[in-house]
Amino acid sequence: MLLPQENISLKDLNTFGINAQARYYVRINSEETLRDLLLCKTIQPLPKLVLGGGSNLLFLNDFPGIVLHMATTGVATIRETKADVWVKANAGVNWHALVLHCVAQGYAGIENLSLIPGTVGAAPMQNIGAYGVTFSEVFDSLEAMEVCSGKISHFSKEDCSFGYRESIFKKELYGQYIILNVTLKLPKQPAFQTDYGAIQRTLAAMHVETLSIKAISDSVIKIRQSKLPNPKRLGNAGSFFKNPTIVQSQFLQLKKLYPDMPGYPQEDAQIKVPAAWLIEQCGWKGQRKGAVGVHKDQPLVLVNYGGGRGQEIYQLAQAIQQSVQTRFGIPICPEVNIIQCCSSFEN
Ligand SMILES: Cc1cc2nc3c(=O)[nH]c(=O)nc-3n(C[C@H](O)[C@H](O)[C@H](O)COP(=O)(O)OP(=O)(O)OC[C@H]3O[C@@H](n4cnc5c(N)ncnc54)[C@H](O)[C@@H]3O)c2cc1C
């Protein structure tokens, strides 16, 4: 069995750049390695953390258990009809690399999800989304290993209970399964989605005359590069909070007090309010607290200027939540997974 490494810094393995240590760490290159570890008597009682690209995590302290770093590679087209292709990718594949692969093959459906950091295995966890497209729209199925038994189960779209930045793996089955691979069903005939954000403006600025999935991917990449801080230069995990939804009566009451308040009606008749707007109204944009702060242009993005601790970012997040709650009566919840393990370990 592959022996885990001990006392490994996770600083370069999370995009916040938090210098947490893992008591044990192992890079998982195959299902067999993973199963052997999960069934090993000395490993079974340890707390476990599955790690992908570390772009949606906040470590509050050292991790006293074992970090299972998913590094399985491989992408294959496993089925094809006149209209669609089914592409299967292993959990450790970089998400953006998969998008570029599909765009190059002429497979449509995920071009709007270009440049989202992280791995394929984490994409179903929070049902990633951007620029008017969500992962669940192209999801076919996945295979996952049960942590307690090492058994592999198949999950259909219905099984995954996808929601807005949610899935069954983040809720009822949290910590119980490790996603091994994901199969996407992608149309060969694209249904271009250009309504969202600055896509149309950017396509025009790029002098794109004939729309293509490559052009959309390029424009999304351009927008993201100009808008979002690059974690390699400024530690962050993208949007820290989810956009809250409120009932229409509350929205109408707030609208009387704040006529500029944006709101987007949802299918369930609730109104989604941009968390970035709420946070900015509370004066947080660009605020700095020691080594951590709120990004100067993107109020949803909390940043680590260097050397910040997870606890500091968490305290900042709590202060933001409190002020939004006090001013608007709206709770905002983190999108980022907060990794908290109470017992610290001895070196
Ligand atoms: C600059 C920036 C921009 C971003 N933009 C977007 C965006 O536009 N849209 C969006 O949706 N997200 C966005 N994100 C968030 C992030 O990229 C996604 O959530 C991504 O899917 C996380 O992938 P990861 O591999 O880094 O996951 P990690 O951070 O490593 O893990 C996230 C969670 O998934 C679990 N996990 C990881 N792999 C597996 C697995 N194989 N099996 C089971 N559980 C697993 C982890 O235990 C953890 O709970 C952004 C992040 C950054 C830093």
Name the β-bridge partners of 163.
Answer: 166
Same domain for 310 and 247, yes or no, is yes
Domain containing 11 — which CATH number?
3.30.43.10
Which pTM was predicted? 0.96
Q: From the candidates 55, 141, 217, 239, which is the catalytic residue?
A: 239
Are 212 and 102 contacting, i.e. CB atoms less than 8 angstroms apart?
no
Least confident of 162-166, 180-184, 341-345: 341-345
Domain containing 186 — which CATH number?
3.30.465.10
Residue 197 pLDDT class (50, 70, 90 cuts): confident
How far, in Å, from the CA of 324 to the mean position of ligand 1?
A: 25
For the chain, what is the domain count?
Answer: 3
Query: For residue 236, what are the contacts with CB-CB under 8 A and spacing of at least 6?
Result: 15, 16, 228, 229, 295, 301, 302, 303, 304
Q: What is the pLDDT of residues 28-76, one digit of tens each?
A: 999 999 999 999 999 999 999 999 999 999 999 999 999 999 999 999 9
How far, in Å, from the CA of 253 to the mean position of ligand 1?
A: 35
Q: Candidates 25, 26, 49, 56: which one to mutate for ligand 1, based on the most atoms within 8 Å of Cβ?
A: 56
Residue 219 annotated as catalytic: no
Last residue of a domain, which of 201, 227, 253?
227
Residue 342 pLDDT class (50, 70, 90 cuts): low
Which residue segment(s) compose the domain that 199 sits in? 75-227
In a domain, 347, yes or no: no
Question: Largest Cα–Cα distance in the chain?
Answer: 64
pLDDT of the residue at 298: 96
Same domain for 64 and 81, yes or no, is no
Residue 217 annotated as catalytic: no
Residues of the chain with pLDDT > 90, as a percent, come to 95
Q: Tokens in use for 346? A: 């001895």
Residues of the chain with pLDDT > 70, as a percent, come to 98
Residue 165 annotated as catalytic: yes
Mean pLDDT, range 172-176, rounded to an integer: 96
Q: What is the pLDDT of residues 251-298, one digit of tens each?
A: 999 999 999 999 999 988 899 999 999 999 999 999 999 999 999 999
Q: What is the pLDDT of residues 213-228, one digit of tens each?
A: 999 999 999 999 999 9
Average pLDDT along the chain: 95
Q: How far apart are CA 314 and CA 293, in angstroms?
A: 11
Q: Which atom of ligand 1 is nearest to the CA of 180?
A: 41
Same domain for 281 and 185, yes or no, is no
Residue nearest to atom 47 of ligand 1 (CA): 50
pLDDT of the residue at 138: 98
